[in-house]
Structure 1
Amino acid sequence: MRGRTVDFELNEQQQLFRKTVRDWVDREAPKEWARELEKDEYNFPHALWDKFTTAGFHGIGLPEEYGGQGGDILTQMILARGLARSLAGLTWVWGITSFAGGKSVGLYGTEEQKRRHLTAITEGREKWAIGFTEPGGGTDLLGGLRTRAKKVDGGWVVNGQKTWSSMAHVADYILLLARTADYTDKRHQGVSLFILPARSEGVTIREIPKVGMRSLGSCDVYLDDVFVPEENLLGEENRAWRMLLPTLNNERIMLSSFCVGIMDGVLEDAVRYAMEREAFGGVIGRFQSLQHHIANIAMWRDQAELMVNRAAWMQSLGRPCGQEANMAKVVASELGGQAADLGLQILGGMGYSAETDMQRYWRDVRLFRIGPVTNEMARNGIAEGLGLPRSFS
């Protein structure tokens, strides 16, 4: 298109940051350590959190005036991808607080909230969780929203339940979505966001056993007459949904970057194993069928990379990117799953063994087709963006 330049090439500073992240991961968070961290499903990796703090990663994307490192979505994408190459789902140890506390408070917090929370996040003193999903809701976030916040003197009293709130068991704060007013015409009205201290009286948290994302901790959160002070309302009362929509693109691009990073790890491990494993008189990498498998993984990784880069590039320019973020999320998560499954096939029995990382990639990337939005719902949004009628109410 004449007059429009599209350039996804990283500039010199971004390339240096990418190298810095890669060197840091190889030195401080190698794959063998990630395997050790996730062996105990119920032991949160505080040591990994502390390493992120020392490296300054919690401040990536946060304003320098609050102690952050600065940087836009492209910088966050580089970090997300670089960490996921080794850590896979454990990358959310950084990502959840970055999104829930950093992004949301950074966009909609008062000056006092920003100075209090963003500074603490960059210094590694605050962990955050997200309290959006409810047991009867799933993807139907608004239709299933039963958590209520009732206005009282000095604040609000909250009752309800949240589920799949990762890191809630170790979090200092939960970014909580609750209904604060009844509107019969539009469900997105009358909902508000709160900064909920996770150890408030009336909060009960239970961890959920699961297949992947081990040691991160995903939780049910029960709220029984929990008092939230007035100053912990985030943004405008009753207008949370309008506030959340721009941040969802950031979350989907970040998740897509995790998927590309996982594919980096899958490809790296598949090539190494194919060149080391010997059978029938030589390395198995000489077999054409395995070469085709590895070529497919490389092509899928590059396809996903281009779509993720496009979405991140558009957001960095302040352009609407809902369609592009949805497309990147669907493509990256599905190709990431195919790549991990094929990588497991290449490694054979060792791929299924907990002594290698392929099974970890395979387990962790599977969730990304489900959350934070199902690929089916993302496809609905893509179709609607093309002018088709909405398929759900």
Structure 2
Amino acid sequence: MDFVLDEENEAFRNVVRDWVEKNYPKDAARDLEMQEFDYPFELWDKMSAAGFHAVGIDEQYGGAGGTVLTQVVLARELARSLAGLTWTWGISSFAGAKSVGLYGSEEQKQRFLPELAKGNLRFSIAVTEPSGGTDLLGAMKTTATRVDGGWRINGQKIWSTASHVADYLLLLARSDPKPEKKTQGKTLFLVPRTTDGVETRQIPKLGMRAVGSCEVYLEDVFVPDDLVLGEPGAAWYMMLGTLNNERIILSALCTGIIDGVLEDAVEYMNTRSAFGKKIGEFQALQHYVADMVMWQKQAELMTYHAAWLQSTGAPCGTESNMAKVITSEYANRAADLGIQILGGMGYAAETNAQRYWRDSRLFRIGPITSEMARNAIAESMGLPRSF
């Protein structure tokens, strides 16, 4: 097995790194992140101009092509500086491009994918509900009822990233009030955010601030039949590809956070002096760096393996869960050590370790809690269902 990026992806990695250094080095990313309720439209537009929104979209629909591994390379290099702001690109990539590309009709692909590739459309995912959290199916109260020419949707969603500025919400609703199984009777809709009856409200939060996370309220929202994605009632099984892709991209994002923390820590240790010598000579701090380097390599290998599996069409649910758990927990631990290495300055808003810590802390909770991911991993080994 070859663990080295091929020539094309290595060249793309260098292009993205140069773009980040020119447009959003860490000081610029830090300033942008502090603007909690101001969505980074300029970042979105610069990503559009760079062609990043086209990555992973088939060339026949105006995309740049590329596999899941190409998306991983992009996410990792962006996150080295942007951290959670990488989701400015990532959400539309999996909620829009991946979902429509996998499940959309030919008419829907022709309608949405070229505009997504140009950066003319923003998508958000609206799946989680206030009463359920990770229990998406058992606690789902949002309903979709058939009416003439379409559906009426009523309910509430939460933690819908950037839905306040999205053009469309990828929304999951219960379309059968009495399904035989919880996995049945759910339908995916592409809901225009400006439709009558849709309301969003941003949630103040610890990290991931400028991207925005929202509650979504839906009251008698009409969605026409041509905005149903895939087969009505079969959404849960369809969504697995989207959710796996989300976890893989998230794993790459977390790996990029480790990259950023590590390079900041080493730079600081080589310049900061205490007790008459550079703190890089202190054995305890060297051990911290050694741990981070090992976490970095484990995160990279797990992420690339899951991406490779999905790119070949092989099952990757367990692998994407493993990558998500390992990378999110290592990223958060690395960021915490980054704060410790910087000492008091690590706690200051003018440095980056605290930003990496705040952003990575969320990823131990969402899009699936590490505890629930561990449940699924254990179940894949033949153990009984634990929830």
Report the number of matched residues: 387
* Cα deviations by residue, 1:231-265 (Å, 9 ceiling, x for unpaired): 11000010000101122211111111111000000
* Matches of 1:369 and 1:58, distance apart in 2: 26
- Give, as a single letter, the amino acid of the residue that structure 2 aligns with 1:98: S
Question: Is the deviation greater in 167-176 or in 177-186?
Answer: 177-186
> C-alpha displacement at 1:182, in angstroms?
2.5
Q: In the alignment, which of 269, 274, 286 is matched to residue 291 of structure 1?
A: 286
* Cα deviations by residue, 1:156-181 (Å, 9 ceiling, x for unpaired): 11100000001011011000100111
1:96 aligns with 2:85: no
In the TM superposition, what are the counterparts of 1:314-353 in structure 2 within 5 Å? 314-353=309-348
* Matches of 2:103 and 2:319, distance apart in 1: 24
Kept in 1: contact 2:95–2:242 (CA 8 A):
no
> C-alpha displacement at 1:76, in angstroms?
0.3
- Give, as a single letter, the amino acid of the residue that structure 1 aligns with 2:195: S
1:312 aligns with 2:310: no
- 1:171 maps to what in 2? 166
3-state SS, counterpart of residue 343 of structure 1: helix
Please list every run of at least 4 consecutive aligned residues from structure 1 whose deviation after the TM superposition is greater than 4 angstroms: none
Q: In the alignment, which of 49, 63, 85 is matched to residue 44 of structure 2?
A: 49
* Matches of 2:70 and 2:339, distance apart in 1: 31
Kept in 1: contact 2:37–2:209 (CA 8 A):
yes
Q: In the alignment, which of 197, 218, 223 is matched to residue 218 of structure 2?
A: 223
* Matches of 1:311 and 1:221, distance apart in 2: 32
Structure 2: segments with no counterpart, 5+ residues: none
3-state SS, counterpart of residue 237 of structure 1: coil
* Cα deviations by residue, 1:349-392 (Å, 9 ceiling, x for unpaired): 11111101110000000111111111111001001100001112
* Matches of 1:285 and 1:349, distance apart in 2: 17
Question: Is the deviation greater in 130-139 or in 285-294?
Answer: 285-294
3-state SS, counterpart of residue 196 of structure 2: coil
Q: In the alignment, which of 192, 210, 225 is matched to residue 197 of structure 1?
A: 192
* Matches of 2:48 and 2:249, distance apart in 1: 19
- 2:267 maps to what in 1? 272
Kept in 1: contact 2:58–2:65 (CA 8 A):
yes
State the identity %.
62
- Give, as a single letter, the amino acid of the residue that structure 2 aligns with 1:343: G
Q: In the alignment, which of 2, 8, 23 is matched to residue 3 of structure 2?
A: 8
* Cα deviations by residue, 1:204-227 (Å, 9 ceiling, x for unpaired): 111000000011010000001111
* Matches of 2:28 and 2:272, distance apart in 1: 23
Structure 1: segments with no counterpart, 5+ residues: 1-5
* Matches of 2:308 and 2:186, distance apart in 1: 31
3-state SS, counterpart of residue 163 of structure 2: coil
* Matches of 2:73 and 2:361, distance apart in 1: 21
- Give, as a single letter, the amino acid of the residue that structure 2 aligns with 1:158: I
Kept in 2: contact 1:8–1:313 (CA 8 A):
no
1:18 aligns with 2:13: yes
TM-score by length of 1: 0.97
TM-score by length of 2: 0.99
In the TM superposition, what are the counterparts of 1:1-393 in structure 2 within 5 Å? 6-392=1-387
* Cα deviations by residue, 1:292-338 (Å, 9 ceiling, x for unpaired): 11111111111111111111112222211111111111111111111
Kept in 2: contact 1:183–1:189 (CA 8 A):
no
CA-based RMSD: 0.9
* Matches of 1:284 and 1:89, distance apart in 2: 29
